[in-house]
Amino acid sequence: MLHRILYILVLWSVTAVTASGQQQETPYYHWSFGVSTGDILHALFNSSEGEPFYPAFMLEYTGQQFAVQGGFRPGYNMTHTSYDGFLDTEITETSSISGQLAGTYYLLQEARWQIKAGLQAVAGRSREDIIMDSGFDRVTTRRLELNVGVGPVIDFRFLVHQRISFGMEASLIYSWSHSELQQLFTNFPDFDNTKETVEGEGLDAYEPATIYMRFHF
């Protein structure tokens, strides 16, 4: 549903600009700051979908033939659950940070449309603590994850104004992941479990999942 709304907004912007018949020459700006419209809609409609994988914010420097951009996404959430008739309480706390860095070259550069392609590196780290407090002991199940990857990326842009553009990107990322799982006992640390470690790697294709609104300056 949210994706449909995103595409409707972009189509509306394109139609409005085309209908206005404005053919003014677009000035050149080196810097742009982008915001994911998907995050805006998630906030407005209080969506319960999982943590998005794409950056929430983008900062880009553009030259005559190339561009360098970086993006990041911070995340934090805490839930508290009490069970009727029992002293047990459960707290789930998650935090994460992820980012990307990309270098691209222009494949198409017109007054309104731009297409760029290049190489992208991504990295992310997350931590999840599930804390069970029975009144007798406080047990924490902790999961740590680290991901890094690299691969080609393609970026599509449409300028609706000399200082505003909408765009989306797709990528093919080869990634490596490392995760650790451990159970910790507050009052009885001798019962702490040995860390369980899992590593993996894979190749994933990421289709456009959001539309970035960029402000050029």
Domains and CATH numbers, the chain: 2-216 (2.40.160)
Would you state the pLDDT for residue 17? 45
Nearest to 111 by CA among 46, 2, 18: 18
Residue 13 has pLDDT above 60, yes or no: no
Range with lowest mean pLDDT among 2-16, 107-121, 125-139, 194-208:
2-16
Residue 128 forms beta bridges with which residues?
94, 143
Would you state the pLDDT for residue 41? 77
Burial class (CB in 10 A: 0-12, 13-18, 19+), 101: middle
Radius of gyration of the chain (CA): 22
Tell me the mean pLDDT in the region 53-61. 94
Q: pLDDT (tens digit, 9 = 90+) per residue, 153-179? A: 999 999 999 899 999 999 999 999 999
Would you state the pLDDT for residue 134? 81
Tell me the mean pLDDT in the region 208-212. 92
What does pLDDT average to over the chain?
86
